[in-house]
């Protein structure tokens, strides 16, 4: 069994104009998820096997879940993905067994 993951980073973007595919999660919303402010970069995704190797807390009672994204964030991600598809913006897909371009 596999799961799709999106790239996240706590590094703040220098420019207030975020590129298509980057969703900034502010401090308040991040705290609700048990995190600090971060960005989701929908332009980079990975398919990972659901195994202890990739998810070391999988056998814990809470399965390592830190928080659950609200429905609004799920809709935002889907909207961004749809717009990226419409504009033919590529998504860098990574994961075990996948080759990715060097920068």
Query: What span, in angstroms and rounded, lies between the C-alpha atoms of 33 and 22?
Result: 18
Contact 27, 37 (CB under 8 A): yes
pLDDT in tens, 13-66: 777 789 999 999 999 989 888 889 999 999 999 999 989 998 888 888 877 777
Q: Model pTM greater than 0.95?
A: no
Integer angstrom CA distances of residue 72 from 1, 14, 25, 32, 54: 27, 25, 12, 13, 27
pLDDT in tens, 71-98: 899 899 999 999 999 999 999 999 887 7
């Amino acid at each position: 069994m596999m799961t799709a993951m999106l790239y996240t980073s706590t590094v703040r973007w220098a420019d207030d104009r975020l590129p298509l595919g980057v969703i900034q999660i502010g401090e308040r919303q991040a705290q609700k998820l048990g995190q600090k402010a971060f960005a989701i970069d929908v332009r980079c995704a990975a398919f990972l096997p659901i195994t202890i190797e990739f998810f070391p807390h999988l056998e814990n009672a809470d399965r390592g879940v830190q928080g659950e994204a609200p429905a609004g964030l799920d809709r935002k991600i889907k909207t961004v993905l749809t717009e990226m598809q419409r504009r033919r913006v590529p998504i860098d897909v990574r994961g075990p067994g996948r080759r990715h371009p060097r920068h």
